[in-house]
Structure 1
Amino acid sequence: MTRTAASLMIVALLAGCSTLPRDGPSGMGVVQAASNPERQGDYALVNLDFALSERLKAAPQRSFSTLALASSDAPTDIIGVGDTLAVSIFEPSGGLFGGGSSSSESGNQTLPPLVVDRNGAVPVPFAGSVSVQGLTPAQASAAVRRALIGKVANPQVIVTLAGNTSNAVTVLGEVRNPGRQPLAANSDRILDVIAAAGGSSRSIYDVTVRIQRGGQTYTAPMSIVTTEFNENVRLQRGDQVNLVYQPRRFSSFGAFNAVARTDLPPGPLTLAEALSGVGGLDSNLADAKSVLVFRFERPEVAQALGIQQAATPRGVPVVYRLNLNEGSGFFIASNFQIEPDDIIYAPRSGAAEARKFFEFVQSVTRVVYDVSVTSAINLD
């Protein structure tokens, strides 16, 4: 009975070999699940050649969102509550600020710094409370002058912003010094504000810039903002600028010498460089004629390649297959560019799968043998 049980266990193992655990799908399994002329599969399987890699490189660049619509012409020198003003008054006669002196010198008066109160006004001697909120410095000068007319003979007034706290934006996220940053006529663009906040410690390729204003959000990659002049937009008071870290990565699974999730470097990365970065294929396990790249391809690119696979919300699921058993495969790998979220997978070769199975069967049959011997001893 023990021998019969052992035989039945081995037969069951052989019958269930297709259910043995594996690191991922076999190359044949990937082919079987792909779309073909007879049926719609889960993804399109596309064999990579050099011409196809060239067509992929020539595809239009990914369309990015833009900050151009957020550009503002609003002035950045509008006086607001909490701002500090420097007010200088020039009186040609010298009768008021000159203290009644008969000196021919004009009466000049520079007032102490004046802070705009919660009512939007500043106190000016002999003029009382002068409303300046919402005015430019030039307009505030005119307002103070009007308030002094009748008290000072032909006064001349100069108002400047000594402390500009209301004309500011808030900078958050991946900057070294987050907080409020003032705007000025010569530093009101988004790169000026980011630089004033210490810049970003992340790669510009992994950062997205977001501007929030009045319930609207405008976004663009930092790499585009730094290279396209139209994206370096003018900001306005009250804007919130947020630098969001969105790392670009690819993953590698299967019969590699190292399995990893790897950050993409600045600039393009080819499949050959990616394979080198993870230690290359495991020569004892990998099926070199079937190196696979899983990708959600952009619909416009898939259409240009003639791929008929239906799109998902993330894009068109495509598996690119490369044969590295052929010498041309390395030229193709050096021309095929990896994109963020790509998955590179190397299935096991048929010989490696068979070896894995027989090793498993051998380990189980050894256990069965040990059980059989133990049972025989116990029977004796």
Structure 2
Amino acid sequence: MNNKASRLAKGAALMALVAATAGCGLPRSGPSKSEIFAGSVQREGDAFVVAVDDRVTRATALVPALGFPQAFLDAGRLGSDTIRPGDTLGLTIYENVEDGLLADQGMNATVLEEVQVGGDGFIFVPYAGRIRAAGNTPEAVRRLITDRLDEQTPDPQVQVRRMAGDGATVSVVGDVTAPGVYPIQRPTRTLAQMLARSGGLAIAPEVAQVTVVRGPHRGEVWFEDIFRDPTVDVALRDGDKILVEQDDRSFTALGATGTQARVDFEERSISAIEAIARVGGLRTSLADPTGVFVFRNEPEAIAEQVLGVDVAGPQRVVYVLDLTEPTGMFEARDFVIRDRDTVYVTEAPYVQWSKVLTALTGTVGTVETLNDVGS
């Protein structure tokens, strides 16, 4: 009688454990495949669940389009001979007499170094007075000075030189080797030349973006495009600000992947298959290759193309990739991951069953041990 009661008690305890295990939430990395589908708009949820195919990959294949305003592209290089306010000039004046206006005793040449062009565009030359320099070439300034001095000393000869380090400068900041303020000179009139002058990049060129700010206007390009497309190697202007920074796009990988982490883009474009590879691939002991999901907020225009219906505003869309389909790997290779996407891989159905059995086995063993102690 006691043995029968004991067996009945053990059976009751086992049934209670099964019910408790079924009712409790077992550890897992996220929602199951069926739970994601249950949250679709088609089932009165708040997200559209869309299977990825060739049409979807084409509609969603967007890579950030960077470029400069047309005014930047049309700007010509600064002329090497045009003098601007802030430039520094060097003057040499020869006089055809022993006791000239400017030369020291016994000399017939006067050297005036570092003559600064004022903000109003003028320079001052003794006995010649104020000379308009800005907007003129060194040759034109030479003639103006010569004409003024010719009235006071016979047959003066004048040389005008533009000194290094003129008044036109740009600032280069960000991820470059030597940030600073640099003059626009003959070797540094274009964007590529100025970046080289600042020591080059301090980050990988594949993820470098270059922004140029010119007054109220700005534009940005991928660093690599400066060398692939000569038209975006724009001519610089006085006061330009050049910023070099790393691409800040990222995606998040969760679920049955090798690593669960926020991952920075390391290339201009990343596919779903590359994103999975970046985090160690699918965990063979856990992952369900039919349940690879990409969660994204799609802009209205793209959502309408993907869904084939009119929508109002951005939409939550969950894209489904089945890697076991004949074209599944190709579609994952062609599907482009975008900034702030969440890539989630579900666990295989048997994993939850294994967890239930493990939990039950361990719990039943504990109960039996307790019963043995109590008997």
TM-score range, shorter chain: 0.7 to 0.9
Counterpart secondary structure, 1:324: coil
- Residue by residue, what CA displacement relative to the aligned partner does 1:142-177 show, whole Å, maximum 9, x if unpaired? 443354242233434332221324211011111111
CA-to-partner distance for each residue in 1:241-274, whole Å, 9 max, x for gaps?
A: 1112224443322112333444444464443344
Structure 1 SS opposite 2:289 = coil
Unaligned runs of 5+ in 1: 102-106
Contact 1:67–1:233 (CA<8 Å) still a contact in 2?
A: no
Residue equivalent to 2:29: 23
Q: In the alignment, residue 318 of structure 2 is paired with which amino acid? A: V
CA distance in 2 between counterparts of 1:212 and 1:237 reads 11
- Counterpart of 2:51 in structure 1 is 47
Aligned to 2:323: 324
Partner of 1:343: 342
Q: Which amino acid aligns with 2:329?
A: F
CA deviations 1:40-98 (Å, max 9, x no partner) are x4332221234544x348x57654353433454595643334x4311133556787378
Q: Residues of 1 paired with 2:168 and 2:141: CA distance?
A: 16
Alpha-carbon deviation of 1:217?
A: 3.4
Which of 19-28 and 336-345 deviates more? 336-345
Distance 1:348 1:233 in 2: 51
Alignment partner of 1:89 is 2:88: no
| Structure 1 residue matching 2:20: 3-state secondary structure | helix
Q: What corresponds to 2:164 in structure 1? A: 163
- Aligned AA for 1:113? E
Is the CA contact (8 Å cut-off) linking 1:84 and 1:161 kept in structure 2? yes
Superposed, 1:1-380 pairs within 5 Å as 10=17, 13-14=20-21, 16-17=23-24, 19-36=25-42, 39=44, 41-50=45-54, 52-53=56-57, 55-56=58-59, 62-70=64-72, 72=75, 75=78, 77-81=82-86, 83-91=87-95, 96=100, 109=109, 111-116=111-116, 124-127=125-128, 130=130, 134-138=134-138, 139-184=140-185, 187-266=188-267, 268-297=269-298, 299-308=300-309, 310=311, 316-360=315-359, 362-363=361-362, 376=374
**Residues 356/94 of structure 1: CA separation in 2 closer, same or farther (3 Å cut):** farther
Could you tell me how far 1:114 is from its partner in structure 2? Answer: 2.1
With over 3 angstroms needed to count, the CA separation of the structure-2 counterparts of 1:227 and 1:43, relative to structure 1, is farther
Which consecutive residues of structure 2, in runs of 5 or more, have no partner in the other structure? 1-8
Q: Is the 8 A contact 1:45 1:321 kept in 2?
A: yes
In 2, Cα distance between the equivalents of 1:367 and 1:147?
110
Are the aligned partners of 1:175 and 1:198 in contact in 2 as well (CA < 8 Å)? yes
Secondary structure of 2:41 counterpart: coil
For residues 117 and 329 of structure 2, what CA distance do their matches in structure 1 show? Answer: 71
**Compared with structure 1, are the counterparts of its residues 230 and 205 closer, same or farther at alpha carbon in structure 2 (3 Å cutoff)?**
same
> What residue identity is the alignment partner of 2:31?
P
TM-score (structure 2 length as normaliser): 0.77
Cα distance change on mapping 1:119 and 1:259 into 2, 3 Å: closer
Aligned-residue CA RMSD in angstroms? 3.9
**If the length of structure 1 is used for normalisation, what is the TM-score?**
0.76
Contact 1:207-1:247 at 8 Å conserved across structures = no
Q: Report the Cα distance in structure 2 between the residues aligned to 1:80 and 1:367, rounded to whole angstroms.
A: 89
Q: What is the CA-CA distance between 1:119 and the residue it aligns to?
A: 7.2
Q: How many residues align?
A: 360
How many Å separate the matches in 2 of 1:52 and 1:201? 37
Alpha carbons of structure 1 residues 326 and 156: separation in structure 2 relative to 1, 3 Å: same
Matched residue of 1:334: which SS? Answer: helix
**Correspondence for 1:104:** none
Q: Distance in 2 between matches of 1:370 and 1:229?
A: 79
Three-state SS of the structure 1 residue aligned to 2:92 is: strand
Q: Distance in 2 between matches of 1:113 and 1:275?
A: 65
